[in-house]
Amino acid sequence: MAINPVIRAGGVQRQAPRGLFFCSVPDSGIVQIQPKNGQMPTAVFPNCVVLPPDLHVELVRRSITFWHPMKDIFPLKGIPWIVNACADADEYRSGLEMLAKATSGTRLPVFNRPEVVLETGRDKIIDKVRGIDGLTVPHCLKFEPKLPKDFPEAFERGGFTFPVLVRPTGSQTGRGLIKIDGPQDWDKIYTIDWAGRSLYMTQFVDRRDQHGTYTKFRVAFINRKPYFKSAVTKNEPIVHGSMRTIESARLEMAKLDRLAENEVLARIIEKLAQQIRLNFWGVDLGWSAEGDFVFFEATAAMSITATTHTPDDVMKEFRRIAGPIFENLGKAVLTPSSWDCWPEANVPKVSVKRA
């Protein structure tokens, strides 16, 4: 994405001031180290905003990258805008709180404002979306077990009924997720790493359709505008993606087309866009053919632009929905004046000139 922003003033062209790309080490201090094609291993930071590679390169070129925590003074003076990469309230609480404090009371444009990300923990986000007509929002409780008995005690304290789902905070893609169907299943807690960690307990809602299958679909939001991303159907209640074929991709697109025509869902999506004031995020919902919708998760850490499970020859089947996501995300990230979820600041008038 070879784009050079220039500001025109009195016939003189000068480079636009660089923004700030805010990143952070997880509060746990734990990152993944992955080898790459025989090269030096690279660090993979969990639950960050996922941008396409070319957009990430262009953002880095236009900005100063700041890593939290650092001993340096936070370089806010002269910064025209900030893109916040920290997308999970549990994983990056320290960095998000620092950024929120630094920008509080300013009119500085911040992409995915930290104080809003901090409200997207699984136990907090339900308060924002509960009460939307047509959407079932399961109860969720955050707890910190010290002993095995703390699990059934949290179950009683939260007023749950079986089944329930238990997972560590910061968990995505089903990592560490267990389903407790009854008292006999509490031994499943020994299959996950929970010592010294916070966990979420969520009420399980059965959303099987008349065929006994379960469907989960994803909607992306870019500056409050929704885009359908995926729809996966499985025979198991815990639904995750798997390798797509051309045939399965066409069935998935047909399913998304039916969802796009659902008037109840349209109203739900409109309300979600109003309630969750982030610039780039996603929501997972359950759906049965009878028209029941169940809230699963809403987070800025959701994988939207990744093409996992989709070979290149199959990706063309999703061009109709993937194209607008990539195009509009690029425009949104690189245009601070478009961050319309919050009042605009004094953003320089920029003329975009292609190299």
On the 0-12 / 13-18 / 19+ scale of CB atoms within 10 A, 327 is exposed
Tell me what the pLDDT averaged over the chain comes to.
88
Q: Which of 123-132, 190-199, 262-271 has the lowest mean pLDDT?
A: 190-199
Give the pLDDT confidence score for residue 224 in this predicted structure: 94
Whether residues 168 and 187 share a domain: the answer is yes
Asked if residue 126 is part of any domain, the answer here is no
Q: Could you tell me the CATH number of the domain that includes residue 194?
A: 3.30.1490.20
Strands 19-24 and 39-44: unpaired
Q: Is the pLDDT of residue 140 over 60?
A: yes
Give the pLDDT confidence score for residue 238 in this predicted structure: 82
Whether residues 9 and 68 share a domain: the answer is yes
Residue span of the structural domain in which 276 resides: 214-333
Whether residues 254 and 322 share a domain: the answer is yes
Give the pLDDT confidence score for residue 36 in this predicted structure: 76
Q: Is the pLDDT of residue 73 over 70?
A: no
Torsion of CA 257, 260, 262, 265, to 10 degrees: 140
Find, among 299, 350, 265, the residue nearest to 122 by Cα. 299
Whether residues 222 and 311 share a domain: the answer is yes
Whether residues 36 and 77 share a domain: the answer is yes
Whether residues 218 and 322 share a domain: the answer is yes
Boundary of a domain, candidates 82, 117, 152: 117
Asked if residue 249 is part of any domain, the answer here is yes
Find, among 80, 84, 107, the residue nearest to 96 by Cα. 84
Q: What is the pLDDT of residues 235-246, one digit of tens each?
A: 888 887 778 999
Q: Which residue has the higher pLDDT, 177 or 74?
A: 177
Asked if residue 240 is part of any domain, the answer here is yes
Q: How confident is the model at residue 173 (pLDDT cuts 50, 70, 90)?
A: low
Q: How confident is the model at residue 19 (pLDDT cuts 50, 70, 90)?
A: very high
Asked if residue 312 is part of any domain, the answer here is yes
Asked if residue 344 is part of any domain, the answer here is no
Asked if residue 122 is part of any domain, the answer here is no
Whether residues 269 and 322 share a domain: the answer is yes
Domain count across the chain: 3
Q: What is the pLDDT of residues 81-138, one digit of tens each?
A: 999 999 999 999 999 999 999 999 888 999 999 999 999 999 999 999 999 999 999 9
Whether residues 276 and 236 share a domain: the answer is yes
Give the pLDDT confidence score for residue 353 in this predicted structure: 29
Asked if residue 177 is part of any domain, the answer here is yes
Whether residues 195 and 228 share a domain: the answer is no
Contact 44, 303 (CB under 8 A): no
Whether residues 325 and 222 share a domain: the answer is yes
Q: Is the pLDDT of residue 10 over 70?
A: no
Q: Which of 35-39, 69-73, 284-288 has the lowest mean pLDDT?
A: 69-73
Across the range 2-10, mean pLDDT stands at: 36
Q: Which residue has the higher pLDDT, 339 or 290?
A: 339
Asked if residue 350 is part of any domain, the answer here is no
Residue with tokens 């390169």: 57
Secondary structure (3-state) at 321: helix
Whether residues 16 and 113 share a domain: the answer is yes
Q: Is the pLDDT of residue 6 over 60?
A: no
